[in-house]
Chain A
Amino acid sequence: MSDDDVRDAATRVPTIRAQGLGRQFGETWAVRGVTFDVQAGEVLGLLGPNGAGKTTTVRMLTALIAPTEGDASIDGHDVRHDAEAVRARVGVLTETPGLYEKLSARANLEFFGRLHGLAPDVRAERIQRLLTLFDLWDRRDDPAGTFSKGMKQKLAIARALLHEPAVLFLDEPTAALDPEAAFIVRESISRLRAAGRTILLATHNLDEADRLCDRIAFVRGGLLRIDSPARLRGDLGGGPGIEVSLDAPADPSLVRAAEALPVVRGVASRNGRLSIGLEDPRRDTPALVRALVTAGAGIVEVRERAASLEDVYFEVMGVRPAAGGEAA
């Protein structure tokens, strides 16, 4: 990294910045003490159960409601004092698509293009591009009310992208959708991620967050934990490492062979499985496997040691449902 790069990184304003953000309704705090930064091109997942404060956080960050305490900015614009500028720089997909159902897909986008002050030729070009991107161009003149749930959600995402916002906020984009519609919407989000969009995705769908997000923020009345999915899983699984399945119970000589490698951070043996901690599993695994084979190991399977995101979720939230369905 050059000196200029270091200086840029130090002075770069995050696209989303939240510092001690909180909102109180009556006597109740919906969410409090939320602090994080999101850089341009990053996808951050807000993960938490219903009522955790995800939607309230999204609404504060999009200048729809004012924070009771703390500060937040979008692209350097304060959500409290520069709300209009913030709203001009964000695209929001609300929990429900909220389309004008009697109007056509094109008329819906046309209206929002005008609200954002887009010139007629720019509007027309973007509407065509977005409706084509989301496979809706052939239905452009049909009333939105005749669309399936998945199509409505795609149209709502197109609406949120129309003014090319700095940040896209997606609030439960696949909630209440059937699997097929949810798949279509996730594919759309994947394409946006690949295109380098900055996205904040509020969801309670673990798989969705795992697949789409660079980092995940666990929220429940406040920010509990924030990190990349891989690090979250790795930390809960005892740090980075691998699991080796053998064709027979592990001989103590295999444990010694593994421990002899300087990159190994501990070995546990149980029922024909070795759990081995490594500095960097991707870098160190080939050398370790060669050492184990040389020591006489019959290796059946090698895989990275990690907890599931579901394990992480319950660990962070401090609850785990019992088999009968009640939280333990």
Chain B
Amino acid sequence: MRRDIVRAVVGREFAELLRNRVLLATILIPPVILTIAPLVLGSVVQGGDRPFPDTLVAQILAQRPEWAGFTTREIATAFTLQQFLVYFLMMPAYIPLSVATFSIIGEKTSHSLEAVLASPIRTSELLAGKSIAALVPGVLAGWLTYLVFATLARVQYGPHLGSVVTDASWLAGAFLLGPAIGLLSVVAGVVVSSRSSDPRTAQQIGGVVIIPLVAFTILQASGSVIVGAFGYALTAAVVAIVALIGLRLGVALFGRETILTRWR
């Protein structure tokens, strides 16, 4: 794989992304909302007059013994904040999916891909460039939003309670599982876009990647599953392996001839 060519594809993708206001809005607006919402909700729980039932508190402490020094109200707030880690995993999932589907299907509709395929670029180089260009904004948005969120949480709740969102499980989730999910999302976007001609359809089908995340959110909110740092790191490794296998499949499915003879 020739790095100069991959860099050229990434550079052009970014240049186009910066000029696509609709796509930029879909990338930038949700992170702002996701940063503010957990803090507002956490404050509501902290200031509320209906603390968690003792059975739930006991269940939470069984999973999180390090929270034993917290008051019942602090445990409720910490538990509420904990639920939002999943949202920071969703950002690297949906942003690359949007970018990848718009990128490939945009080239289908503008017929710009034929000229690219007529150049000496290899399929692997083209897809690597597109994947990196789709993955980077999502991962960076996820990390940046998380850092802003963690800083604001410390300011709002103080270092004691604020440290909940910077413990090892959060760091593993945001910095390991997030990019892995992003990669899987890109692969889904590339594979589905190669076979579809409508960005919305591709996003909906590719969005299947997010379903396990939603299930995970429900399980964690109900207290059925509370994943620690090791759990996140292990999940990240599994997801990354699945994504890399999917990427190889994506290169095979991305038929140059099919694109030229069937895309209209």
Contacts and interface: CB of A to CB of B under 8 A. Distances in A.
Contact of B16 (A92, A96, A100): A100
B221 interface: no
B4 A114 contact: yes
Contact of B113 (A65, A98, A115, A159): A98
Interface of B: 2, 4-5, 7-8, 11-12, 15-16, 19-20, 110-122, 256-257, 260-261
B19 A102 contact: yes
A114 B5 contact: yes
Contact of B12 (A25, A59, A100): A100
B119 A116 contact: yes
**7 tightest CB-CB pairs across the interface, nearest first?**
A114-B8, A102-B19, A98-B111, A92-B118, A115-B119, A98-B112, A88-B120
A94 B113 CA distance: 10
A165 B257 CA distance: 22
A147 interface: no
B115 A156 contact: yes
Given A64-B260, A102-B20, A103-B16, A111 B8 contact: yes
Contacts of A94: 111, 114-115, 118
Contact of B260 (A59, A90, A115): A59
Contact of B120 (A64, A66, A87, A156): A87
B119 A112 contact: yes
27 contacts: A62-B118, A64-B117, A64-B260, A66-B257, A84-B122, A87-B119, A92-B114, A92-B115, A92-B118, A94-B114, A95-B111, A98-B111, A98-B112, A98-B114, A98-B115, A100-B16, A101-B110, A102-B15, A103-B19, A107-B15, A111-B12, A112-B119, A114-B7, A115-B119, A115-B121, A117-B2, A117-B4
Interface string A80-99: 00001101101010111011
A127 B120 CA distance: 19
Contacts of A95: 111
